[in-house]
């Protein structure tokens, strides 16, 4: 079956070359039993391609199952996929066949495969390698002859780096990669899709179809469409039902195109000369290094005052950097040349910083200061680690690691 015939059969709208290429690969690989990995953003229509592969394969008379791996709780995903024996866990009153057993000699579509737990990934790898699996709570090795097509909107190589996805499983799944382009990457298809969605909605609801003015169409083509085809369909249907005027202007269309939400959470703000790619920890160290220098200058000013010398006032205009609870971390804007990167690179995290007090200088290590900031954030958010991590401008996983590292117990 050629690309145009497949489009007609499965209702695919678009003339973009990359879309046609993806359809062509799906049709070409359908006759084999190779594992296929479909990638692309959410809403691009990845779920259509496993159907294309199944219907054009020798397995088309067999079972076809689509499983959303991200929608099944971690505690039951193994039972859903591989089945379980009676008494395997509480509530297992009888044995149950999993999808790999039911779909034998058919096709199994694993959507959102990037959300699978690591333990399930190990089981899946065994199935892909030799077609063997064991039911939950069982000991008998079972065989299956099933074609796997997987899809994800997750960046799997990045997930591998972060330890959330097995590298060996990635290469087993990625035997034949198919990438579905985002809607913003095929702008010429947007008018076609809009007219299709508007016409279908009007026909179903017995109302006139909406049309766009040239300015409105230009706005629609230039919009980012983070939700891709799914979002375009939703917006088209919203306008069709909400607007009495059937010709939609750019001003009217703008009301239905949401502005991307910007986060107002407090974060560590890098300086203009901060190198790209600097980590959260490096940013924190740089702020603390600046504080160390400012404290040293303050001590010098105190010594000048004590000696009867006039105080210099052009060094200390403080700018807030971030706020954690009632604590504001500041960076002083100085008239002196900024600390160069070499000085910062030589800054040792465990180095003690001495600063002036009335009589007894205190010793402040970076680890101690970082620990205090974490404690203040946790106290400010009543121990809610997710909120505390957002306030600190770090990931929740990093916060957990820091809590364990410093032995913080609130």
- The whole-angstrom separation of Cα 361 and Cα 75 is 54
pLDDT number for residue 396: 81
Q: What is residue 80's predicted lDDT score, i.e. its pLDDT?
A: 93
Q: Where are the beta strands (DSSP E) in 213-351?
A: 247-248, 317-324, 327-333
- How confident is the model at residue 348, as a pLDDT? 42
What pLDDT, on the 0 to 100 scale, is given for residue 260?
61
Low-confidence ranges of the chain (pLDDT < 70): 260-287, 289, 301-302, 304-366, 410
pLDDT recorded at residue 262: 43
CB 27 within 8 Å of CB 6 = yes
Instruction: Name the 3-class secondary structure at 298.
Output: helix
Q: Which residues contact 39 (CB under 8 A, 6 or more apart)?
A: 46, 151, 152, 153, 156, 177, 178, 179, 180
Identify the pLDDT of residue 125: 96
Going from N- to C-terminal start, the domains of the chain cover 3-181, 184-254, 280-406
In angstroms, the Cα distances linking 384 to 323, 394, 398 are: 17, 14, 14
CATH class of 184-254: mainly alpha
Give pLDDT, residue 37: 97
Q: What are phi and psi of 212, to 5 degrees?
A: -115, 145
Instruction: Annotate 291-350 with DSSP letters as a single string.
Output: HHHHHHHHHHHHHHHHTTPPPP-SS-EEEEEEEETTEEEEEEE-SSPPPPHHHHHT--TT
13-43 pLDDT, tens digit each: 999 999 999 999 999 999 999 999 999 999 9
- Say which CATH superfamily domain 3-181 falls into: P-loop containing nucleotide triphosphate hydrolases (3.40.50.300)
């Amino acid at each position: 079956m050629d690309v145009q015939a497949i489009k007609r059969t499965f209702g695919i709208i678009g003339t973009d070359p990359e879309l046609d290429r993806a359809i062509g690969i799906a049709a070409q690989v359908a006759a084999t039993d190779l594992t296929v990995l479909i990638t692309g953003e959410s809403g691009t229509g990845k779920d259509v391609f496993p159907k294309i592969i199944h219907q054009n394969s020798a397995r088309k008379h067999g079972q076809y199952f689509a499983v959303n791996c991200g929608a099944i709780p971690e505690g039951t995903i193994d039972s859903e996929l591989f089945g379980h024996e009676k008494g395997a866990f509480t509530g297992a009153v009888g044995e149950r066949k999993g999808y790999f057993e039911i779909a034998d000699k058919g096709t199994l579509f694993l959507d959102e495969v990037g959300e699978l737990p690591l333990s399930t990934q190990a089981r899946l790898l065994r199935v892909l390698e030799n077609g063997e699996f064991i039911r939950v709570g069982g000991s008998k090795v079972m065989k299956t002859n099933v074609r796997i097509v997987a899809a994800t909107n997750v960046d799997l190589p990045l997930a591998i780096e972060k330890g959330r996805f097995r590298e060996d499983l990635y290469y087993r799944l990625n035997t034949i990669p198919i990438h579905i382009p985002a809607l913003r990457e095929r702008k010429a298809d947007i008018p076609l899709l809009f007219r299709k969605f508007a016409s279908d909605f009007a026909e179903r609801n017995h109302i006139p179809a909406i049309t766009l003015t040239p300015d409105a169409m230009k706005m629609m083509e230039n919009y980012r469409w983070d939700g891709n085809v799914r979002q375009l369909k939703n917006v088209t249907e919203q306008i069709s039902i909400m607007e009495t005027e059937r010709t939609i202007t750019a001003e009217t269309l703008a009301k239905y195109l949401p502005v991307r939400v910007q986060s107002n959470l407090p974060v560590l703000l890098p300086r203009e000369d901060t190198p790209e790619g600097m980590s959260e920890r490096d940013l924190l160290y740089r702020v603390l290094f600046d504080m160390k220098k400012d404290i040293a200058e303050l001590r010098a000013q105190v010594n000048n005052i004590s000696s009867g010398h006039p105080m210099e006032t052009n060094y200390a205009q403080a700018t807030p950097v971030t706020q954690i609870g009632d604590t504001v971390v500041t960076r002083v804007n100085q008239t002196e040349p900024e600390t160069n990167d070499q000085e910062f690179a030589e800054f040792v995290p465990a180095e003690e910083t001495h600063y002036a007090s009335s009589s007894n200088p205190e010793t402040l290590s970076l680890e101690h200061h970082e620990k205090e900031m974490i404690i203040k954030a946790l106290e400010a958010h009543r121990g809610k680690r997710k909120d505390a991590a957002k306030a600190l401008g770090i990931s929740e996983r990093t916060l957990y690691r820091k809590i364990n590292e410093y032995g913080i117990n609130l």
